[in-house]
């Protein structure tokens, strides 16, 4: 949450570090992108936790499936969204991919936990 807040609050100065003075259109595009990504980066915080859990159990198949799902959806949604809404489409595509990964991994995690509780 701290990194999200800092990124969101200081998006303009961060963008100005990488863009030459006078390119306000580029700074504005970058600020819009960072505004969305600052919020959306909560998703990979969770996905990385689930990925670590599954890898620690030696269950690499669900991590591979989750990664392939989120990457594929990201590519598809970037292709669909960027021509229509610009750079913000990249951020939204990332959120879609991460959300799909969570929708795949959370039920599987719940299933494993329930299976463990019942001694199966």
Please name the residue that has the structure tokens 């936990």: 113
List pLDDT tens digits, range 46-86: 999 999 999 999 999 999 999 999 999 999 999 999 999 99
DSSP 3-state of 1: coil
List pLDDT tens digits, range 96-112: 999 999 999 999 999 98
Task: Read off the DSSP letter of residue 23.
Answer: -
In angstroms, the CA 43 to CA 61 distance is 20
Q: H or E segment at 10?
A: none
List pLDDT tens digits, range 83-99: 999 999 999 999 999 99
- Judged on CB neighbours under 10 Å (0-12, 13-18, 19+), 59 is middle
For the entire predicted model, the pTM comes to: 0.85
CA distances in angstroms from 90 to 55, 65, 84, 95, listed in the order given: 28, 22, 11, 9
In angstroms, the CA 53 to CA 41 distance is 19
In angstroms, the CA 48 to CA 16 distance is 30
């Amino acid at each position: 949450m701290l990194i999200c807040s800092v990124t969101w609050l200081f998006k303009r100065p961060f963008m100005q570090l990488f863009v030459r003075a006078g390119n306000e259109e580029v700074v504005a595009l970058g600020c819009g992108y960072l505004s969305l990504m600052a919020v959306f980066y909560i998703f990979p915080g969770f996905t990385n936790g689930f990925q670590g859990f599954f890898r620690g159990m030696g269950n690499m198949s669900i991590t591979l499936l989750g990664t392939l799902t989120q990457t594929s959806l990201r590519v598809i949604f970037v292709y669909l969204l960027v021509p229509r809404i610009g750079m913000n489409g990249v951020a939204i595509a990332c959120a879609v991919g991460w959300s799909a990964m969570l929708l795949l991994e959370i039920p599987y995690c719940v299933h494993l936990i329930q299976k463990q509780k019942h001694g199966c």
